Amino acid sequence: MATVDGTTAPSSGGKTATVASESGGGRYGGPPPPAKCSGANLALRALLFAVSLSALVVLVTAKQTVMVPFVIRPPQFILAPVPAKYTHSPALIYLLAALCATCFYSLITAISSVRLLSSSACSAKTLFYLILLDVFYAAVMASATGTAGAVAWVGLKGNSHTRWNKICNVYGKFCRHIGSSTFLALIAAIVLVVLAFLNAYSLYRRSR
């Protein structure tokens, strides 16, 4: 019979067989070792937390009060303070809720990534669940960014067809906060998409 150490021995029928030894117990020595979670995953989740938290802070501080003239009887008018807050728009409230959820999710997954990075390996089931959650939160952030962006565009340019006047020429600080928060939310959505692709690629490499 043939040995496993690379030596040859006569087999039945006068022929010789050579068996090369393989590390890890041979070709059929068991499943491949689990892949470790990459440091890029942790870095992206830390970036996601920083971006979503920054967008949240900028959005919450989007408040401005200006003195607006009101005509009582031409040519008489009075100046009255009129505030502008993010709570005045349902789209911005939706963006706030999406940012809160994404910020909390990024913090939890970043802590989990630290534990998985220091442990032996990252299981395929964990990667699969992370892909599903990343895709879900990416969709939430994309929809919230779209709705907030539409409101910000109307505030910046107005709409002559519906006679919606622009307000950014009056509430400049408020519009800058809304625009900055929307842009940061867009970056958060892109980071979530990149994370989903990264985890999907890691899962694909494990299945090969």
Which residues in 149-179 are b (16+ Cβ under 10 Å) and which e? bebbebbeebeeeeeeebbbebbeebbebbb
Q: Is the pLDDT of residue 99 over 90?
A: yes
Task: Tell me the pLDDT of the chain averaged across its residues.
Answer: 81
Peptide bond into 75 cis (omega under 30): yes
What per-residue confidence (pLDDT) applies to 149? 94
Strand partners, 85: 63
Highest mean pLDDT among 9-13, 17-21, 164-168: 164-168
Tokens of 27: 């070709």
pLDDT greater than 70 at residue 63: yes
pLDDT at 113: 80
DSSP codes joined into one string, 120-131: S---HHHHHHHH
CA neighbor of 47 nearest in space, from 198, 201, 180, 187: 187
Average pLDDT over residues 47-74: 89
pLDDT band at 117 (very low <50, low <70, confident <90, very high): low
Average pLDDT over residues 60-84: 83
What 8-state DSSP symbol labels residue 7?
-
Measured distance CA(165)–CA(155) in Å, rounded: 7
151-206 pLDDT, tens digit per residue, is: 999 999 988 888 888 889 999 999 999 999 999 999 999 999 999 998 888 888 77
* Mean pLDDT, range 71-85, rounded to an integer: 81
Rg (CA), the chain: 29
